[in-house]
Chain A
């Protein structure tokens, strides 16, 4: 419940960022640089005098959008591969699963960094890179579900009355795999937000002056003990948003699979 409340709060803050932001997140004001939190700047300002609160709000927007885009891309591709592998079986299953094995072998951040490096550092390319390393988990998950469902009576009944493969996959198999997909997607939103922030932090994702949380921590790294608000704000933002997705994932799993509840 706490996770859901937190998540709704973040979504609202992100949606209302243009209304709630007291300043333009990119507007510089050198005389006000490195000001501590105050009434005029609730989360202080950075070294270029930009308002940290406004940057935080726009940062939430970026993190949520990136998370959604990656999960949609990776979830879509993984689900497609998993459905095909599980339903077609035999050589198609063997081939597709060996391809997923290849992607599982890479430590995700190293591969994502290589992809982002090859395509050129930008938020869009970081997003593509993280999606490329994230889809195999969905493929395995959905394939497992389909293998279990394939032999169930309702699928055999559909097959026996001549329903086409496409219809069986789309109308009968896909809807029954959505519950575990949703749980995985929720956990993955958190992991994606961390990965993209990490890539941006080392320079392979969003580029300054974009108000992305990983970039903001990187920009404030030399002030971590003196002007703590430069890094503390974005770090707490990431922590709370990722924790919210993890808690929602836990909650969904408990609802959908009460046996796992502990």
Chain B
């Protein structure tokens, strides 16, 4: 029973991180209808910004203030980066086919990865030890062991999800985002500046990815330039699983993938856990082709 609860907790934590990344995929898909492959690399950069802010800028480790500063810093850097990527690489392609934008996104992803791996321009290929940003301590609740880092992950992820929900549903810009994803032409007809909203969406999604990167790195000992690939892929799976373009769907998908992965890791099948995430995805898509919460569009002729 204890082990079950422990795994449940770990699964929820991992799921919360996947949810943060998946939301970025799903928001961009909502407004631009394409898969932003560079998202997983923004996630990686988020972790590296936090690393730099501690190692080079000298932010204190093991402190709540320093940890929050590092988190905010990497979220802001990632947000700016997301907007820059969108302006440089995707905006010129607004009228082109989705496939063109998709390949450009793959190009951007490769570019970030390779620059990051270059020792002169980026971080170099070797993994780096990630510092303990927040005070680390093991807390015991009965037989359950929880580290303070896990609590931080949970608190940060939940507040960001709440913040996102508030922005999307209760602010003007959030309403504009929803309008844009519902019908881009109609949105611009009623005076919404589509380009500005798209930039904002990229910034918001990238900030979440940056936060996801920091939270992910906190629970793993080291970070490297290719660390984004697998979590990025799984978050993408989570977004599709929940119904891409659907925000609660992405959160639900992330949680599901995190839980399944954690529980499978605890069994003899642990080495197959990456395959099982995809297997479940395929099974669900076969029965609900638009994802768990997605609505199937009827094609009109």
Our verdict on whether A and B bind, yes or no, reads: no
Q: Chain A: residues with CB nearer than 8 A to chain B?
A: none
Q: Chain B: residues with CB nearer than 8 A to chain A?
A: none
